[in-house]
Amino acid sequence: MATEQPAAEVPARTGVGIVGAGPAGLFLAHLLGLAGIDSVVVERHSRRHVEERIRAGVVEHGIAELLESGGVGDRMRREGLVHHGIELRFGGAGHRIAMSELTGGKAITVYGQQEIVKDLIAARIESGGPLVFEAEALAIEGVDGPSPAVRYRLEGRERVLSCDVVAGCDGFHGISRAAVPAGAAIEYQREHPFGWLGILARVAPSTEELIYCRHERGFALHSMRSPELSRFYLQVAPDEPLESWPDERIWAELRLRLSTTGDWSLADGPILERSITAMRSFVLEPISFGSLHLAGDAAHIVPPTGAKGMNLALADVHDLAGSLTALLVEGDEGPLEAYSKRCVRRAWQAQEFSTFMTTLLHPLPGDDFGNRLQLARLEQLVGSADAARHLSERYVDLASTATTGGGRS
């Protein structure tokens, strides 16, 4: 079994035990390393699997700065696509939201989550810090005491990693939340009555900026990854089988929904990847329990319409790294004690924006009243600079500014 880290060399004790090598776990390990704090990352999948998993692609203004200031933003700055606006398309017409103009020059960077993951893995390996793939965490124990432990399986054998602190960065389907003592947290959830069919296609984008399109047949999004790769999403039923979407049907549906009265056309190409994801909103409150602290998708899930999931995950662990540095280097418990409160506040701000974008753009079959309201709201957004500014401020820079009502965390 291939692991990047020889099993014999994985320490049995560390400062911070990190479960999960997604953007949250990897950025946390990197920032802790910069502060001179030891950590071990255990990840249940292979390196190849986590590097190839296609996920989100929009990096907010302030989050791009955090990656850069952590020394892991060089390739993103070189290869990422900087966008100064988005298009809202409805009723067969496109309307540009000039985000940079409306936010004092802020912009988003379109750069795939798996590219950030590759950059963070490369930085971790270069630093020599332990990062163990194909190591599945089974349980987190002793979180109410000073020496918690992560029990995990590597090369068929169970092992124990003793830590000062455990960071649960293992996503929505991880095991960290199971270590939360019964009755210690509230779970707020909302299921949405649709999912997204997402594709990656080898074709030049037919647009310079992202198109968020509301159509009677459902939402469509035209995004991209590079000058040669386009990414698209279609609103579908949450339990829709992928088999009922052959290539021709996908392109025909994208053409129908994205069509305009102007002279715009959609270029197609080979589909390289496709998946259907149900849409969910979830917030856990609080997210710290003794010496266990959750971050990213383990703590909260937002529907992807606001492009906030990865940004929230990175903002959480930037905060967590600073709080752990205060504790483990300076002996100051204060920042870590308020970590959960700051993250939960940020999660609800992201939840509010993501719900706003989702309910604005996804028509519900049979809900004629709601569907007319969507059009009225869209008209406000393209007709009022104040409404467009409010959307832009939250779209370009929410995650790094949402803990103190405007100030950086």
23 interface partner picked from ligand PHB, ligand APR, none, CB below 5 to 8 A per type: ligand APR
45 interface partner picked from ligand APR, ligand PHB, none, CB below 5 to 8 A per type: ligand APR
Residue number, 37 or 137, with CB nearest to ligand APR: 137
Which two tokens mark 384? 């009022």
Distance CA 30, CA 39 (A): 9
Distance CA 342, CA 246 (A): 44
Q: How far is the CB of 69 from ligand APR (least distance, A)?
A: 19
Residue number, 253 or 319, with CB nearest to ligand PHB: 253
Q: How far is the CB of 78 from ligand APR (least distance, A)?
A: 22
Pick the stretch among 17-25, 200-208, 273-281, 329-337 that binds ligand APR (CB under 6 A).
Answer: 17-25
Per CB under 6 A, 205 contacts ligand PHB: no
Q: Which of 23, 304, 335, 363 is catalytic?
A: 304
Distance CA 200, CA 333 (A): 45
Decide if 339 is catalytic. no
Q: How far is the CB of 177 from ligand APR (least distance, A)?
A: 10
Best CA proximity match to 109, nearest among 350, 357, 395? 395
Distance CA 232, CA 279 (A): 16
DSSP class per residue in 262-277: SS-------EEEEEEE
Distance CA 307, CA 108 (A): 11
Distance CA 29, CA 31 (A): 6
| Residue 206 burial class via C-beta count within 10 angstroms: exposed 0-12, middle 13-18, buried 19 and up | middle
Q: How far is the CB of 86 from ligand PHB (least distance, A)?
A: 9
Best CA proximity match to 19, nearest among 159, 138, 185? 138
Q: How far is the CB of 224 from ligand PHB (least distance, A)?
A: 7
Residue 26 has what DSSP assignment?
H
Residue from 19, 110, 179, 203 in contact with ligand APR (CB under 6 A) = 19
Distance CA 41, CA 20 (A): 7
Tell me the CB-side half-sphere exposure of residue 395, using CA atoms within 13 A: 29
Per CB under 6 A, 307 contacts ligand PHB: yes
Decide if 308 is catalytic. yes
Pick the stretch among 25-33, 52-60, 333-341, 374-382 that binds ligand PHB (CB under 6 A).
Answer: 52-60
58 interface partner picked from ligand PHB, ligand APR, none, CB below 5 to 8 A per type: ligand PHB
Per CB under 6 A, 394 contacts ligand PHB: no
Contact residues for ligand PHB (CB under 6 A)? 56-58, 210, 223, 231, 304-305, 307
User: So which residues are the catalytic ones?
Assistant: 83, 212, 304, 308, 395
